[in-house]
Structure formats: structure tokens, C-alpha cells
Structure 1
């Protein structure tokens, strides 16, 4: 196994298509395909399910993705650590939504404090509407949010990560053995609806577009409550891979299953006031996230 295997695997996992990964890395599609197949042979597992619409991670693939990202990020951090980071100073007020703070931001805040010790990043938690209002009023410098939810004109977004949404079911559920599950079948199950960060609104968009309605038994703003209810067999849900964890707080196993329709991804990224001037500190933060998510890490 080498770093190229990891880099090409992560690019394919994050873009969901070999063609997109190849374009991102500026290499041929055949190079990506052969590298992923070599990695699967080395590990002795299938990392992806090949589908007409793209590449879906298997359970083994999702587990390996965490390790691969960690390795690449640590190497990248080692390369960047001494690149004049002490020269960047200033204070930034950065808003972040609930999901971003809980499942995306902590690692990067730690890394930023190491790379730029004289950059003071002040985080405030806001919902999408407040983020949009405060960006347009220049009350905050920038935001990390679900860019798929941003609606207001005058706000520029830069999507960093597209997290696929899948069906969550308790271990042993019949859906675990049926392949792609139709929404019509899911609609017959008790459904746990997450409401935080407009999750319910996003869900109903794709349910309505397929003329189906979930059998909602409970609405909650707590991801952990959803996890526990699903793990204990009280319902199913459709949520993103970014918030997925294989175990509930009680130690109950949760499985993920693909659906037979394409469900929009949950997109995470940066948001700016399009017309506002950007300081060196703002460009530094943008550059960090662009390098971490949108630029090839290692060249061969």
C-alpha cells in the first residue's frame, strides 16, 4: 500500500465518481480505477459498490475512509507545519451551524491552532437564517455551514465536502439483505425525523419529489436520540454519512443501506459576503480548507 492508493481512494469516496476523482487529481480515469482495485486487493475487501450513477462506499469502505483521511491529513500537516505560519495574525469571527460544529469542525480547529498560533478564531453557533443575515450585515467574517441549504443572494459559497445520505436501520433488519431499498418500502416503516439544521425540510424535498411520505413517529433535534431509536429498533431514518456512527449510546449496532433513488448529498463548506473585502486572515482560513479538501495532497 502506498500514499497514491490512499489519495485516489479518498478522492473517489468524496466525489462519488471515478470521473470526478480523476478530474480533481488531474489524472486519467484508468489510473484511479486501477489504484482503487489494487487497494481492494491489498486489503482483501470491497471498498465500493459500483453503480450506474457512481461509486458508493461499502461498510468496509466507510471504515477505511476514516483511517485513510487521518493518514493523509497528518502527512499534509507535517508538510505545512513550518511554512511561515507564525506570520499570520488577526481575529476572525466564524459562524458554524450545529451539525458542522459537532461533526466537522473540531479536528480542523485543533490543526489550525497549530499551524497559525497567532490567528484568533472565534466560533459562534448560528442557524442558517442567522448565518445569512449576519454575513450580509458584516457582523461575522465568514461561516462554515451546510452550503446545500444557503438561499440568500449576495452570499458566496465554496463546497468542501459532499456527504452521501443513506438509510439507517438496526442490525439484523430485513433491509440489510435486500440491496437498494425503494422509498415506498421505507415509507411503511416507522420513521425518526431529525429536525436540526433544517434536516426535516431537506428530507421532505426528496420524499415529495418521489411522491412518497415517511411514516414519521418522532421528530427530534438530537442526532444521538435518532441513533438510539434506530439502534433499538424503534424506527429507521435517512441521514448523511458525516453524522453516521455504527453504535448507539447503548451499544446497539446501526447499519446503513442504499436506496433505489438518488438522494441529494449534504454539502458542507464556506460561506462569505460576496461584496465584502477579505482580510489576510480570511484568505488564510479559506486557503487552509481549500488545500485540505479541494487540492491533491501528494504528487507522484
Structure 2
């Protein structure tokens, strides 16, 4: 048993699916599955029940989850102590989009603060166009963005994680029970369209690869509004695993299903102006993200 086993187990337990855990960890599904099987073999008990919709924890799994979280937290504390006297100081200006700030960046800001206590990190939330302009005019040192939306040739990007997109439907919906749906079937359903961070533009781009169009009944910039509408059976949507939660604010359940056509992932990463000479502070932040997402586990 090693930290890799525990990390993969906790990610699967918290996400409820091997595929989502693999997306969060930026590794293959087979690596997660193998690690869990090895862990179950060593413990001599099943940690999950495999179901049609994901991974349901066993009683032994729930007991082991608390211990695993505690071990990983102790490890994280030890790492923070090792970096407590970091000589890196100064300030860095980072821009980020709505989705990145809401669903990706906060825990990393906390870890960066622990690792570099003398570093002043300034965050600005803007849309992609404003972020690109700010990077090119040196108003920002770097940005954390949806790199799958960046097409400016004057910017350099580095993708850290890829989040799969899936169909969302209410738990009792026939599409959810089937576990898989075609774009032809989805086109017959009321569709809730998220508009923030160019989500609507991206949606129509991959719908154009089919012979169908979504029957949009609501456009909204609120992820929570989408979640509630879907959970209450008022439509379906296709969104990324990063923003997925299995329940709405009212506590109603949301399930996911795969589709017959491949949907591009939502890619999250860093961006900066090409040719820029990074300060020590900026280089340290980039190194942190590289170690967290791109270094071998």
C-alpha cells in the first residue's frame, strides 16, 4: 500500500465514478481501477460495489475513507512544513475565468499560500477576451483558464487537466436509466443551455458534428440554475465533470450518461504571453502546478 493507492481511492470515493477520478487526477481509468483492485486485495475486503451508474462505497470503504483522508492530510501538512521557509516573495497577478475560480482554483490558492507565505497572489476574474488582452499588455503575469478556449497565437498555454463532458439528466429520467444516449434522442428533450465561459458556443460546436440541434428552452449563466432545472426533470444538458455534482440545491439527484458521439473535453491550464521572461514568483507558481498535475504519481 502506498500514497498512490490512497489518493486514487479517495478521488473515486468522492467523485463516485472511476472516470471522474481519472479526470481529476489526469491519468487513465485503467490506472485508477488497478490501484483500487490492488488496495482491495491487500485489505482483503471490497471497498466499492460496482453499479451501472458508478461506484457505491461498501461499509468497509466508508470506514477506510476517513483514515485515508487523515493520512493524506498529514502528508500534505508535512509538505507544507517543508516549504514553510520558502525564500520566494514578491507579488504575482493572476487572471482567471468564472468556471476556473468557482470549480478549480480555490484549493490551489490555499496550497500556494501555505507553500509560499511571503508571496502576494492577486486574483482577477474576467472573461477570456479581457484575460487575453491583459496578458498581452503585461497587466497579468499569467492566467488560469479553459485552455480549450484559447486560440490566440501570441499566447502560450499549458494544459493541466482534462474534464470529460457528459449528458446530465434527473435520476428518474429514462436517459439516465439507459446509461447512454444518442444525439438524436437528446435533441427530442428540452435542453438547458449554460452560457458562461463560452459554454454555449462550445456546445453548438460539437452539436454541429451531428445531424441534430438541441431544443433549447432556457439559456442561463448560472450553473446552479442548470443543476436545479435538470434535477427537477425540466430538461437535460451536457456539461463537464468538473462542475458536476450529484444533487441540486433542493437535494434532488442528478445522474449522468454517455453519448454516441465523442464530446471534446474541457481543458484547464495556464496561459501567458509568448516569450515573456517569468519572474521567480511566476516560475514558482508554474512549478507548483506542474508538480501537482504533470509530475509522475
Normalised to the residue count of structure 2, the TM-score between the two structures is 0.83
**SS of residue paired to 1:216:** strand
Would the aligned equivalents of 1:167 and 1:257 in 2 still touch at CA under 8 Å? Answer: yes
Report the CA distance shift for 1:21/1:235 in structure 2 as closer, same or farther (over 3 A).
Answer: closer
* Structure 1, gaps ≥5 residues long: 23-28, 50-56
Superposition deviation, residue 180 in structure 1: 1.7
Report the CA distance shift for 1:121/1:295 in structure 2 as closer, same or farther (over 3 A).
Answer: same
**SS of residue paired to 1:258:** strand
Report the CA distance shift for 1:240/1:277 in structure 2 as closer, same or farther (over 3 A).
Answer: same
CA distance in structure 1 between the partners assigned to 2:261 and 2:77 by the alignment: 38
Superposition deviation, residue 296 in structure 1: 2.8
Superposition deviation, residue 251 in structure 1: 1.5
* Structure 1 match to 2:285: 285
* Structure 2 match to 1:38: 38
* Structure 1 match to 2:130: 130
Q: Deviations over 1:9-61 (max 9, x none)?
A: 66985656xxx649xxxxxx8x87643433466313239x8xxxxxxx93549
**SS of residue paired to 2:50:** coil
What does 1:95-244 correspond to in 2, within 5 Å?
95-244=95-244
Q: Deviations over 1:238-290 (max 9, x none)?
A: 00111111111112111111112221111111111111110000011011111
Would the aligned equivalents of 1:93 and 1:123 in 2 still touch at CA under 8 Å? Answer: yes
Number of residue-to-residue matches in the alignment: 278
Superposition deviation, residue 291 in structure 1: 1.0
What does 1:22-101 correspond to in 2, within 5 Å?
34-39=34-39, 42-46=46-50, 58=54, 60=56, 72=72, 75-83=75-83, 85-101=85-101
Report the CA distance shift for 1:95/1:280 in structure 2 as closer, same or farther (over 3 A).
Answer: same
* Structure 2 match to 1:52: none
Superposition deviation, residue 7 in structure 1: 4.7
Superposition deviation, residue 223 in structure 1: 0.4
Would the aligned equivalents of 2:22 and 2:32 in 1 still touch at CA under 8 Å? Answer: no
CA distance in structure 2 between the partners assigned to 1:180 and 1:70 by the alignment: 37
Superposition deviation, residue 82 in structure 1: 1.8
**SS of residue paired to 2:152:** coil
* Structure 2, gaps ≥5 residues long: 13-17
Would the aligned equivalents of 1:73 and 1:292 in 2 still touch at CA under 8 Å? Answer: no
CA distance in structure 1 between the partners assigned to 2:82 and 2:221 by the alignment: 42
Would the aligned equivalents of 2:48 and 2:55 in 1 still touch at CA under 8 Å? Answer: no
CA distance in structure 2 between the partners assigned to 1:220 and 1:271 by the alignment: 27
Report the CA distance shift for 1:77/1:156 in structure 2 as closer, same or farther (over 3 A).
Answer: farther
CA distance in structure 1 between the partners assigned to 2:127 and 2:120 by the alignment: 22
Normalised to the residue count of structure 1, the TM-score between the two structures is 0.82
**SS of residue paired to 2:46:** helix
Superposition deviation, residue 294 in structure 1: 1.2
CA distance in structure 2 between the partners assigned to 1:175 and 1:118 by the alignment: 51
